[in-house]
Structure 1
Amino acid sequence: MNFIKKANITQFLFLILVLSSCGKDKNSNTAITADAVEDTLPKMKPMLHEKKLPANYVAAIKNKVDNFYNKNWPHNCMNGGFLVARNGEIIYEKYEGYANKNEKTEINSNTPLHIASVSKVLTATAVLKLVNAGKLDLDKKVNTILKTFPYPDVTVRMLLNHRSGMRNYAYFTDRDTSVWDRHNQLTNQDVLNIMATKNIGLEYKTNTRFTYCNTNYAMLALIIEKITGLSYKEAMTQMIFKPLGMTNTYVFDYEKDRKTAVPSYKGNNVEIGMDYLDAVYGDKNIYSTPRDLLKFDRARNAPDFLKPELLKQVFEGYSNERKGEKNYGLGIRMINWYSGQHFYFHNGWWHGNTSAYITLRKENVTIIALSNKFTRNTYAVRKLAPIFGDYPFVFKDIE
């Protein structure tokens, strides 16, 4: 009798062990499946093992940049962050002013500031990674991805290089209440729905001229969501921010972040409130720091960023229907001087936020300036380029 009891107990314990193992296997399979889904996303990779700069070189450049800084932002009037680096090594950086003037919180290297239209470079990068991975085609018609998109000739490439001919959503939603009630927050999907249902005509015939337009990048954000199956915020986090360790970078969520995000100010220190356009992303609405953007820039200059044939198209000029030096590639501005020298950059301006991102690809130099108090001095940092190479900017005060 005792033997039978012991046998039953043994069988019972064995059954529990089997069921427990099955449960563990099930959980393990679920985890593998989740990881497999995430692993289908193409991700940025950090630039590794860059050549260290000689100490005497760093000291000499630092002195020149400091001279520029003191003359460009006299009497500590900067309100933001500024960084100059070569080979990923920071030569000079400064953080000054208030993140929030009412609370007297100061800006430091970890303070995320609104980077305005420099966000377009990051949006374009996500799109290009999807193209590079074969998940998207540059010349694919947008209406085959976003089914209600009303302009049949527009392609993904034309959104990237601003040749779609679309009108700026800020203008066609601004005054006509039959199009949009400005008491309501506008979203990317709203922009698409309005264009699809309100007879919003093109500003110019598609692909006949370059016209810088935020609507292009609002649509690219929706394409990223459609292709990845993730929100734009999550896709950018998984593809760019997380792999590069951009721990102080995020996509602004109007409902969650509007009370905690760093505000912006007019030049006279009056705070600029948010408006009905502040929920649209892709063209803007990324908050970041100079250090995080340095990580991003170096990854964009890594050898395995994109396949060579695709990378070449990124830095090709698409706004050259009229001969000139100013041009636009796939998510990057450029100046193509007749001497053969090329200068790649992107500026931004939203509310009181101004931003400048400069990548001197030949010299491996990164220059970044961010401000949450309106000033055009942010854009003057391009004049530092002659320190590093043959760039014909005239600025006597850098010596």
Structure 2
Amino acid sequence: MIHPAKQILLWLFFCLILTACSSVDPDVKRTRIDEFLNYQAQLNKFNGTVLIAQGDKILLTKGYGYRNVENNVPHDTSSVFQIYSITKTFTSTLIFKLIEQKKLSLTDPLNKFYPAFPNGDKITIEHLLTHTSGINDDSDPNAPPTEAYRVARFGSNTPHFAPGEGWSYCNGGYQLLGYIIQKVAGMSYEQAIRKNIFQPLGMSHSGFDYTALSRPEKSTAYRVFTNNNKQIAVLYDSAGPFSAGAIYATTGDLYKYYRSFRTHQIIGARSQEMAFAPSKTNDGYGYGWQLKKETMQPTVVSHSGGAAGFRSNFAMIPGEGICIIILNNHENANPEYLTGKILEILHDKPVELVPEVTLKPADLEKCEGAFYFTKPRQMMAYTSVVDGRLAIDVDGQGKMILVAKDANTFIQDEAHAELRFTKEAEGVYTALEVDQGVFQKMGGTRIESAWGIIGDATPKGWDEASPDLKLTEQKQPPGLWFIENVVLKKGEWKFRRDNSWNTNFGDNEPDKMLDANGRNIQVEGGVYDITLDLTDETKPRYTIIRKN
């Protein structure tokens, strides 16, 4: 009989041999990744640049799609992108650098820098880094993005929870860290990042004020990106996101940043180990880094970035020398999903590209509509046709393209889901079955979708127990909804779809142009005709006409 210890050693040896024998040639991996990304680009689910390294060797660095569609400028490895929340990793790295220099401590309380901040003696640098401060960073979108305003506003808001007792993603916490860096470093946040990170690493293509950037490598940001409709996004001034999301970069510069974690050029091994460790209340987030750990797999250390016009992801497995950088200049992409699939290819797992069936318009029309689900929770799924393909929007999260397997079966790979439309009646399908394999199976029923209004200006008030005041859709043109002779009181109101806050519109300016999840609309008492114009879904607007 073999001793148990020797059995374990033999098993490990066998696994090593099996791994060595099954390892796929790098050229094959490169081809598979390239095919996968081209497939995603054809679906308008990716448009940007990637850099992928394994074993500290660059496997693929390439551009896909267009830097600027209007001028027919293709992407290449020099394309520059706004990276938004990936900025938080730079803020975290600089905080740890200052800790190594004995200028800061994780246990430093917030009131050391802002003596009047409520609960400031209990909120620490560590809490700000790990999103466990409880600070409520709600603010007025029209207020100046200044240190004075933010400190006063964050301090006056009701906290989400006691410091260290919960977890809530908080851009405001990272903005406070940026202000603290300025105080401790004796220079602006931008200067501190340049001096301590950009310049030592030679990140010469990275910076902050993207709106003012005039280099030809600058990528145009698109909020809508379909075959037939491309609309440029309105970008934020860099003072808005600040140390939570102001940096722009290239894949090449971010690879230099990745290499610094392999060589400990900016921060030491102990600081890096702490930065990559999970917080006390969230295993999926550390000290400025997102963490993904699956059974029998190494931890993926990453951070995504997404807001107006851009979706990006920066991921690494330091122990394997793996780095995946995905920069994308439209809002259709899911870079975390793309990262996961690329990792599967790097780990020699098969990634299937579903053969797509081209459907006739009449087949797609049968699948269009609104479907109501009660399990595992109440939710709405809206299907529509985009670029000759079916798309789905779940609870207002945005339209995602589906790949057709046949006339009534579709794949949404990002959700590991197969969708099957069933029970045809009067030329449409009345039921939708969703199969997510081991995750769950659920069924939805077609309903008549409608828009309504809610608010204390309406007879129903903000009461959730009764239906919203329903609008009627005109037959032609579709997308024009109205309600006439509605009596409103002085107060506030909003538009909602299907009595749910998942899809609602307000008016931030106000300018009669609607904003998703926007501010309540103010109104004086009277009798009104109200029209909701969704004939162009990318530019929702409304009219409200007083009749007395």
TM (norm. structure 2) is: 0.54
Task: Tell me what 1:231 maps to.
Answer: 188
Q: Is the 8 A contact 2:44 2:332 kept in 1?
A: no
C-alpha distance in structure 2 between counterparts of 1:388 and 1:127, whole Å: 33
Task: Tell me what 1:47 maps to.
Answer: none
- Determine whether 1:129 maps to 2:88: no
Structure number with higher relative contact order (C-alpha < 8 Å, ≥ 6 residues apart):
1
Question: Relative to total residues, which structure has the larger helix share, 1 or 2?
Answer: 1
Equivalent residue runs for 1:175-194 within 5 Å: 182=142, 185-194=144-153
Task: Tell me what 2:12 maps to.
Answer: none
Task: Tell me what 2:175 maps to.
Answer: 218
C-alpha distance in structure 1 between counterparts of 2:107 and 2:319, whole Å: 29
C-alpha distance in structure 2 between counterparts of 1:253 and 1:149, whole Å: 32
Partner SS state of residue 313, structure 2: strand
Which moved further from structure 2: 336-345 or 63-72? 336-345
C-alpha distance in structure 1 between counterparts of 2:68 and 2:146, whole Å: 26
Task: Tell me what 2:106 maps to.
Answer: 138
Alignment size in residue pairs: 324
Residues 148 and 265 of structure 1, relative CA distance in 2, 3 Å threshold? farther
Shift of 1:101: 4.1
Shift of 1:143: 1.7
Shift of 1:343: 1.8
Match of 1:346 among 286, 300, 303: 303
- Determine whether 1:334 maps to 2:291: yes
- Determine whether 1:289 maps to 2:256: no
Shift of 1:311: 2.7
C-alpha distance in structure 2 between counterparts of 1:149 and 1:100, whole Å: 45
C-alpha distance in structure 1 between counterparts of 2:177 and 2:41, whole Å: 36
Q: Is the 8 A contact 2:345 2:351 kept in 1?
A: no
Match of 1:355 among 297, 300, 312: 312
Task: Tell me what 1:249 maps to.
Answer: 206
Task: Tell me what 2:476 maps to.
Answer: none
Tell me which amino acid in the other structure corresponds to 1:306: I
Q: Is the 8 A contact 1:187 1:280 kept in 2?
A: no
C-alpha distance in structure 1 between counterparts of 2:27 and 2:350, whole Å: 23
Match of 2:81 among 113, 129, 133: 113
Q: Is the 8 A contact 1:95 1:109 kept in 2?
A: yes
Q: CA RMSD in A?
A: 2.9
Tell me which amino acid in the other structure corresponds to 1:356: N
Shift of 1:76: 7.3
Tell me which amino acid in the other structure corresponds to 1:386: E
Which moved further from structure 2: 151-160 or 97-106? 97-106
Which moved further from structure 2: 270-279 or 280-289? 270-279
Deviations 1:252-272 (A, max 9, x none): 276x55999644212332112
Shift of 1:61: 2.3
Deviations 1:288-310 (A, max 9, x none): 01111010011022145534433
C-alpha distance in structure 1 between counterparts of 2:45 and 2:154, whole Å: 42
Q: Is the 8 A contact 1:320 1:327 kept in 2?
A: no
Residues 190 and 100 of structure 1, relative CA distance in 2, 3 Å threshold? farther
Q: Is the 8 A contact 1:210 1:319 kept in 2?
A: no
Q: Runs of 5+ in structure 2 lacking a partner?
A: 1-23, 355-548
Tell me which amino acid in the other structure corresponds to 2:58: I
C-alpha distance in structure 2 between counterparts of 1:154 and 1:335, whole Å: 26
C-alpha distance in structure 2 between counterparts of 1:253 and 1:91, whole Å: 29
Equivalent residue runs for 1:36-55 within 5 Å: none
Tell me which amino acid in the other structure corresponds to 1:373: H
Equivalent residue runs for 1:194-213 within 5 Å: 194-196=153-155, 199-213=156-170
Q: Is the 8 A contact 2:36 2:353 kept in 1?
A: yes
Task: Tell me what 1:373 maps to.
Answer: 330
C-alpha distance in structure 2 between counterparts of 1:77 and 1:157, whole Å: 36
Task: Tell me what 2:341 maps to.
Answer: 383
Which moved further from structure 2: 153-162 or 142-151? 142-151
Equivalent residue runs for 1:257-276 within 5 Å: 257=213, 262-268=219-225, 269-274=230-235
Q: Runs of 5+ in structure 1 lacking a partner?
A: 1-55, 175-181
Task: Tell me what 1:71 maps to.
Answer: 39
Match of 1:84 among 52, 71, 78: 52
Partner SS state of residue 243, structure 1: helix
Deviations 1:149-183 (A, max 9, x none): 43311111111111011123xx3324xxxxxxx1x
Partner SS state of residue 241, structure 1: helix
Residues 289 and 88 of structure 1, relative CA distance in 2, 3 Å threshold? farther
Q: Is the 8 A contact 2:47 2:65 kept in 1?
A: yes
Question: Relative to total residues, which structure has the larger strand share, 1 or 2?
Answer: 2
Partner SS state of residue 311, structure 2: strand
Tell me which amino acid in the other structure corresponds to 2:152: N
Which moved further from structure 2: 348-357 or 186-195? 186-195
TM (norm. structure 1) is: 0.73
Residues 96 and 397 of structure 1, relative CA distance in 2, 3 Å threshold? closer
Tell me which amino acid in the other structure corresponds to 1:266: R
- Determine whether 1:298 maps to 2:249: no
